[in-house]
Amino acid sequence: MDAIDLKILALLQADATLSIAAIGERVGLSQTPCWKRIQKLEADGVIDRRVAVLDPVKLGLGLTVFVSIETADHSQDWLQRFAATISAMPEVLEFYRMAGDVDYMLRVVVADMQAYDSFYKQLIAVLPLKNVTSRFAMEKVKSTTALPLPAPPKTGRHLPGTAPVLSVVGE
């Protein structure tokens, strides 16, 4: 990845609806080279997907809950069953296996406390859990999907884990 790729990524993180022409203009490329770079970033998995970010409150989903889970069973079989079950629950937006005193962390979005209570009852009925702790968000202070991108590489250098990129005049 070079400085142009990083600029493209920054633009797409801010607004994935930008046209190829608009992106190319902002990074100094014509449409075809810009499109080829975006396709390569997608093929390499750097761009995972392009989505619309919705406002949960405007959709009636005003309660965000962070759920910490501890389990007594750490077997691979249990994890696979648990992961499949949790992944199928639409209220769960994020699901992490953790290091430390908590085994799993979920970010759950629901309409209200009654909806969370239904979710909670479904969660504890699935598989045996040692402890479930719920933390309710009172206010969203910051929320972003944009990752902090590294600084562009200096001349003659490249990002760790990537091959050097040669620039072609007019690219």
User: What is the DSSP annotation of 146-158?
Assistant: ---PPPPPPTT--
Confidence of residue 64 (pLDDT cuts 50, 70, 90): very high
Task: Indicate whether 167 pLDDT > 50.
Answer: no
> What is the tens place of the pLDDT at every residue in 16-34?
999 999 999 999 999 999 9
> What is the tens place of the pLDDT at every residue in 110-152?
999 999 999 999 999 989 999 999 999 999 999 999 999 998 8
Confidence of residue 168 (pLDDT cuts 50, 70, 90): very low
What pLDDT, on a 0 to 100 scale, did the predictor assign at position 126? Answer: 87
CATH architecture of 56-136: 2-Layer Sandwich (3.30)
CATH of region 3-44: 1.10.10.10
Task: Indicate whether 44 pLDDT > 90.
Answer: yes
23-28: list long-range contacts, CB under 8 Å, 24+ apart.
Answer: 28/4
Task: Indicate whether 158 pLDDT > 60.
Answer: no
Task: Indicate whether 51 pLDDT > 80.
Answer: yes
What pLDDT, on a 0 to 100 scale, did the predictor assign at position 33? Answer: 97
Burial class (CB in 10 A: 0-12, 13-18, 19+), 5: buried
What pLDDT, on a 0 to 100 scale, did the predictor assign at position 162? Answer: 57
Task: Indicate whether 161 pLDDT > 90.
Answer: no
Nearest CA among 17, 87, 19 for reference residue 53: 17
**Percent of the chain whose pLDDT exceeds 70:** 90
What pLDDT, on a 0 to 100 scale, did the predictor assign at position 154? Answer: 76
What pLDDT, on a 0 to 100 scale, did the predictor assign at position 166? Answer: 46
Distance between CA atoms of residues 167 and 171, nearest Å: 7
Q: Give the domain ranges of the chain.
A: 3-44, 56-136
Tokens of 55: 């406002």
